[in-house]
Each structure stands twice: as C-alpha cells, then as structure tokens.
Structure 1
Amino acid sequence: MDEKEIIIIAAIAIPISLVVIVIVLFSVFTRRKNRLLEEQEKAKKDFDRELAESQIEIREETLRNISWELHDNIGQLMTLAKIQAQMAQEKPEMMKEVSETIGTGLNELRALSKLINPEALKSLSLKEAVGLEIERFNRLKFIAAELTVKGTVTPIESNIQIILFRILQEFFSNTIKHSKASTLKVLLDYSDNVLTILAEDNGVGFEKTDNFMGIGLKNMKTRAQLINSTLKIKSVKSKGTALHLKYKFT
C-alpha cells in the first residue's frame, strides 16, 4: 500500500471515527440525562408522597389532641362550672369561682382553635408551630417543656416546614407516650445560614432493638434526607434521648 492510499484511508477513517465517537458520547450523555431526569422525577414523587403523609399525620395528631382536650380537659372545666353554678344558687359568693372556671375554659378553647384549621401550619413559622406544641404540653401538664430560639428567625418554604415540624412532632409524641420523661428542651438555632434543631428529654431512653428505633427513627431519617438535612438520634438507657437536626438554607 503506497503513501497515497494510506492518506486516502486515513482521510476516510478519521471522520468516520470522529462521527462514531460523537455518536457514542451523545448516546452516553443521553442515557445519563435520562437517568438523571428519572432520578429527579423519583425524588419529586418521593418528596410529594412524604409531604402528603406528613400533612395527613399532622392532621390526625391534631384531631386526636382536639378530641382529648375537648373530652378530658374542656369538658371537665364545663362540668365543674355547671356544678359551681348550681351551688351558687344557694351561695351567691361562689359566682366569682364560676366566672373564673368559665374564663379558663374559654382560654382553653381559644388555644385549641389555633389547631383546628388543618392549614394553620402554613400561616405559622416553625418557631410559632413548635411554640404551640410546647405551650400545650405545659398547659396540660404533660411534661415541663421549654423552647429556646437563637439567631434571627429565617423564613422556611412551607413544604419544608411541614416536614421539619412532623419530624419534631414524632419525636415529641414518643417522648410524651413512651419516655417517662419529666422535662423536654427544644432549641431552634438560626445561625450561619443553617437551622440547627436540638430536642432532648430526660426519659428512659431506648436501645436499637426498640420499636421506636426501628420504625419511628426510620421515618424521621427518610424525611430528613428528602429535605437534604442531617438527622442524628442519640439515646442513653435510663438517661434520655436527643434529636439533632441540621437544615441548610438554600
């Protein structure tokens, strides 16, 4: 094969090779792009599903709280007011006690009304929503609860806020129902473009074999991952449990 033939073959082969390379690269790029789009679509569906479940769970928890407070708290206050009113027919000086009991009942109803609207959380900041939970725990003497806020409160997109609130609500629920704790401390720290949430109780703690560790923690971690936040739960048997969450503002 002479030099001229080699040049002709090279002149043909090089463009063909370039075309093949371009086709291969385009094919690889297309597959990666499609895979990325599929992953993004899956992530969106996962987020929407968890958001919907969080909203449903918050409403269910709210309805349970309302039902309990109406029956066991406000109902008892109104029954007491009725008894006092009947006694006041013979002892008019007791009317002051009747008025005070009714006033307490009205205050309880006002506090409860903030939770009745299922869309209420969307109009509240995370600080306000958590504050209502803490206020309720103290008002009903469930536990000695305390909320501390540091830094300048930064607005959070409502869907993210719902998931953050549900994570905390699930932790609170386990504290109230299972921990046998006497204190609950919550910190919301808005610093350096990061929201750090710390919630800790002084309860009995749990081990890895406990149901809370298997189911509750899994749900909380899944939701934390969906909003690109980090979540750690540390529990020491007989000493208590602590939640540590970091959410970076975008």
Structure 2
Amino acid sequence: MQLQSGETTTLAAIAAVIATIVFILLIVVIIILFLVFIKRKNKLLSERQLAQREFENAIAETQIEIREQTLRNISWELHDNIGQLLTLAKIQLHQIADRNEDVAEVSDTISKSLTELRALSKLINPDALKNLMLPEALGLEVARFNRLNFIEATLTINGDEEIIDDKAEIILFRILQEFFSNTIKHAKASTLDVTLTYTPEKLTIAAKDNGQGFSASNDKLTKGIGLQNMRSRGKLIGAEIELESELEKGTNLTIIHYL
C-alpha cells in the first residue's frame, strides 16, 4: 500500500509538471501569435498609410498637371484667339477713323473678345474650377474646342447625374484631358464625341475621334498616347480603362468608374 501511494504521488507530480509545461507552452504560443498578429496589423496599417500617401500625392500631381494644362490653354487662347480678335478690332478702327461708317463690325469683334475673356475667367478662377462637376468641366472643354475651331466636339449625357467623389472627378478629368490633347495635336481628327452614361452603379465615359488612329502593336504610339499613364491613374480610383484604335478609323477611349 505504501508503494502504491508513492507511485500515485510520483504520477501526480509528473502530471503536475506536464500540465505546467503545457500551460507554459500554451502561454508562449499565445504570446507568439499575439506578437505575430500585432506585427501583421502594424504592417497592414503601414501599407494602408503608404497607399494613402501615394494616392494623395497622385491627386496633388494631377491637380498640378490640370492647372499647368489650363495655363497652357489660356496662353494659347490669349495669343492665338483673343489677340487676333483685338488686333482685328484695332485694324477696323483705323479703317473707319477717317470715314463716317457703321461701327457694327468693330462692335461685333469686341463683343467676341469679351465673350472669350469671360470664358477664360472661369478657367483662371481656382474656386470656380474647384466647384465644377465633371459634366460642367467637360462642357467647358468641348465649348472651347468648338469656339476656337480646334475640332468639332460634342458632349452627350445619358441618365441621371450621380454624385462622384471630388478626387475621382479630378482623376477622370485628367485622363480625358490627355485623350483630348492627343486627339487635337496628333490624331488629325475632325470630330470628337464624348458621352457620359450614368446608372446607379457606375459611370461609363466614352470618348472617340475620327483621327488617323494607330496599330495596337505599335508600342511607340501606344506609349505616346499615355495608355499606361491613363490606366495607372484609373487604378487609383478603381476605374477600368480601355483604349481601342484602328488605322484611319480613329480611337475610342472607354472609362468605367463604379459608384
């Protein structure tokens, strides 16, 4: 009986030791898992903060690019359009200075100059630009193209306009600016058609020209039109970008932005 009692005590001691070891191991495992969780959480937070900083930087760069493009547009218009109109008005005034003639032509020329200046004032005013929604901003661009005879442009809006995040609108507008710039400067197009189609789930933007187009296999032209740049910008806001083109058949840009 004494032997059995000793064996029982020994077994109990061994069981207590094992239980203690298991408990300690369990505590260690929990601590390790907790540390791994904290490390992964901190890494995830760090990645999110980095992604947010990159997004904010991209937005800031895009805003700067839009302002620079706007200033270039203003410079061209002041030199090529308003300057010519005012020069014409000056010539007309000289022609009628010594004659008693109707000044209607001069008045009309000056009126056109004032109209151009008012249109430019909207582009110069940062507050006005900031408050413009995408359809209004595109409407100003299309009106400018037509007014200056750059190209025959149209803007069509289908569906009920949905509210879009301000930063997303900036990105979308810049993508379209790049397409417009290529159409006017390089595509040798005579028409440009832009369509915004709103549904509760998404905004689909289609822009197409009737220019000379390019082959999809031509890497130089594909890169020149800024396709990769457009797609990288679209990725920032989760938008899908597709660019299709055929030689002598024009180029189509499709943007799908989910609301």
- Do they superpose with TM above 0.5? yes
Return the offset for 1:3.
Answer: 4.7
Which sits farther off after the overlay, 15-24 or 164-173?
15-24
Superposed CA deviations along residues 134-184 of structure 1, whole A, max 9, x for unmatched, are 111111111111111111112223222111111111111111111111111
Q: Percent identity?
A: 55
Q: Check whether the contact 1:187–1:199 (CA below 8 A) recurs between aligned residues.
A: yes
Whether 1:233 aligns to 2:251 is no
Superposed CA deviations along residues 24-59 of structure 1, whole A, max 9, x for unmatched, are 321221222122112111111211211111111111
Q: Which residue is equivalent to 1:173?
A: 181
Q: Which one of 94, 97, 103 corresponds to residue 102 of structure 2?
A: 94
Q: Check whether the contact 1:201–1:241 (CA below 8 A) recurs between aligned residues.
A: yes
Return the offset for 1:76.
Answer: 0.7
**Cα distance in 1, alignment partners of residues 21 and 193 from structure 2:** 73
Q: Which residue is equivalent to 1:114?
A: 122
Q: Which residue is equivalent to 1:188?
A: 196
Unmatched runs of 5 consecutive residues or more in structure 1: none
Q: Which residue is equivalent to 2:41?
A: 33
Calculate the TM-score normalised by the size of structure 1.
0.92
Whether 1:221 aligns to 2:236 is no
Q: Which one of 149, 156, 178 corresponds to residue 157 of structure 2?
A: 149
Q: Check whether the contact 1:196–1:247 (CA below 8 A) recurs between aligned residues.
A: yes
Q: Check whether the contact 2:122–2:129 (CA below 8 A) recurs between aligned residues.
A: no
**Cα distance in 2, alignment partners of residues 85 and 236 from structure 1:** 50
Q: Which one of 6, 10, 20 corresponds to residue 12 of structure 1?
A: 20
Aligned residues: 249
**Cα distance in 1, alignment partners of residues 185 and 113 from structure 2:** 25
Change in 2 beyond 3 A, CA 1:245/1:214: same
Return the offset for 1:211.
Answer: 4.5
Q: Which one of 96, 112, 117 corresponds to residue 104 of structure 1?
A: 112
Change in 2 beyond 3 A, CA 1:166/1:197: same
Q: Check whether the contact 2:182–2:225 (CA below 8 A) recurs between aligned residues.
A: no
Whether 1:210 aligns to 2:220 is yes
Q: Which one of 83, 88, 94 corresponds to residue 80 of structure 1?
A: 88
1:242 corresponds to which letter in structure 2?
A: N
Whether 1:200 aligns to 2:208 is yes
Larger Rg: 2
**Cα distance in 1, alignment partners of residues 213 and 25 from structure 2:** 66
Change in 2 beyond 3 A, CA 1:32/1:206: farther
SS in 2 for 1:94: coil
Calculate the TM-score normalised by the size of structure 2.
0.89
Superposed CA deviations along residues 77-121 of structure 1, whole A, max 9, x for unmatched, are 111111111222344333011111111111111111111123432
Q: Which residue is equivalent to 2:56?
A: 48
Q: Which residue is equivalent to 1:22?
A: 30
Change in 2 beyond 3 A, CA 1:215/1:103: closer
2:59 corresponds to which letter in structure 1?
A: L
**Cα distance in 2, alignment partners of residues 48 and 90 from structure 1:** 62
2:194 corresponds to which letter in structure 1?
A: V
